[in-house]
Structure 1
Amino acid sequence: MKTIFFLLVMGMGVTGCNGWHKYSDSDNKIINKIPRRSGLQEIDTLWVSQNDTAVFRSEELIQRYPDRNARLGLRYELRNPQDGIYYFIYNDKQQLVQEGKYTAQYIYEGITYGGNFYNTKRYFYKKNGRLISVHYQEDGRNFKLEQFAKDGQLTKITYFNKKTGEKEKIEIYKNKKLKETRIYTAFKTYRTVKSF
């Protein structure tokens, strides 16, 4: 009787581990959680996938632009964000799309804002997987935009005024060297400083 019970338990354990699953969702789960040093303090870090339904809620929407046809897009919302955690967020192609610290309450110039990512980097790719640009935000405002060429070299850095959102200056690079800097004095008016 004991051997039958033992075989029955072993059989259920083996089929429970190998069978009874329609699909494996292991690629879409949290990859790792480690401490990350930022200055003098340690910050917990999470690597997550946008396709992990336990972490993100996705909804389809129609994106409309004035210069082209409307197209279908996806919007992702973090389900249960953890305050003070630094997130690395990947898409379904395992490309890093965003990194930043989630803050439940953020105070900027005396105004308290609700939970969100306020100091982040967002990565944008072409359909072939090539990195196009990296968009930086500080205090929830546009700060800097780095653009890359087909060979992966940095071509341009645009700096924005955090209060107005307008361009302050553009640094243009050629062959990994600063070629010129355009300093904006008005909306489309700038002066050029050549680099030697």
Structure 2
Amino acid sequence: MKTIYFSLLLIVSIVSCNFSKKQNPDDKQKKIISKIRLKKNISEIDTLWVSQNDSTVFRKEEFMNARPCSKPELQVIYKLIHPKNNAYYFIHDEYGKLVLEGKYTNSYTYEGVMYKNGNFYNTKGYSYNDDGELTTIHYMEDGRNLKTETYDKKRRLEEIIYRDKKSGATTKVEFYDEGQLEKTRFYTSFDQYTTVKANK
């Protein structure tokens, strides 16, 4: 149960973080992306492209986050006002960068247990550096951490960290050189692993 709550907190953090490109003082125009594609048949799902700074879609909340041994920091979270059940969302920040995509469900069943907290349980979260370049894509499945991909400045894979969905422990890490697989670490415990070099 703690894993579910931690995973959902991570999703909220991903949605709430303002991953954006640094803007020039003269270029403060914020973008609002709003598009809806309604399903045409039973096999499709409704798809929505929305912006965190659209006050008709998100409620913005600010709070001071105090952590042990560090200064309190101002945090911002965005809460969906009227989420659409079973719709697939593409959520963008105020400058138009995609920060999260996934299907919203009012309830979710995992291993026979139903969770009635409406949320995004299967997602891809995107992080960017200060120049607006993609740095990581984080995947969640069944409300749990699955893997994280890291990219270089040319959007080439640098690393993929795979995690066990139940324990959250790292199971393997793939290392890439200029986008090509170089070696893989297979973990048997927290700090024990074997390394296998890729065939080139």
TM-score (ref. length: structure 1) = 0.80
> 2:98: which partner in 1?
96
Shift of 1:62: 2.1
> 2:158: which partner in 1?
155
> 1:132: which partner in 2?
135
Shift of 1:195: 0.5
Deviations 1:90-146 (A, max 9, x none): 001100000000011100011111211000000011122111101000000000100
Deviations 1:127-170 (A, max 9, x none): 22111101000000000100011222110000000000000100
Match of 1:87 among 66, 86, 89: 89
Hey, what's the Cα distance between the residues in 1 that align with 2:39 and 2:142? Answer: 20
Q: Against the structure 1 CA distance between its residues 95 and 36, is the aligned structure 2 distance closer, same or farther, given a 3 Å change threshold?
A: farther
Q: Against the structure 1 CA distance between its residues 165 and 36, is the aligned structure 2 distance closer, same or farther, given a 3 Å change threshold?
A: farther
Which residues of structure 1 form unaligned runs of 5+?
A: 1-25
Hey, what's the Cα distance between the residues in 1 that align with 2:68 and 2:172? Answer: 27
Hey, what's the Cα distance between the residues in 1 that align with 2:39 and 2:149? Answer: 24
Match of 2:177 among 174, 186, 190: 174
- Does the 8 Å CA contact 2:127/2:134 hold for their aligned counterparts? yes
> 1:71: which partner in 2?
73
Shift of 1:66: 4.9
Pick the structure with more strand per residue: 1
Hey, what's the Cα distance between the residues in 1 that align with 2:194 and 2:31? Answer: 50
The answer to whether the aligner puts 1:185 opposite 2:188 as a matched pair is yes
Which residues of structure 2 form unaligned runs of 5+?
A: 1-29
Give the share of equivalent positions with the same residue, in percent: 46
> 1:59: which partner in 2?
61
TM-score (ref. length: structure 2) = 0.78
> 2:48: which partner in 1?
46
Hey, what's the Cα distance between the residues in 1 that align with 2:150 and 2:71? Answer: 25
Hey, what's the Cα distance between the residues in 2 that align with 1:56 and 1:71? Answer: 22
Superposition RMSD in Å:
2.1
Counterpart code for 1:139: D
The answer to whether the aligner puts 1:146 opposite 2:149 as a matched pair is yes
Counterpart code for 1:94: G
Length, aligned pairs only: 169
- Does the 8 Å CA contact 2:31/2:96 hold for their aligned counterparts? no
Name the structure, 1 or 2, with higher relative contact order (CA <8 Å, separation 6+): 2
For the pair shown, which has the larger CA radius of gyration, 1 or 2? 1
> 1:117: which partner in 2?
120
Counterpart code for 2:189: A
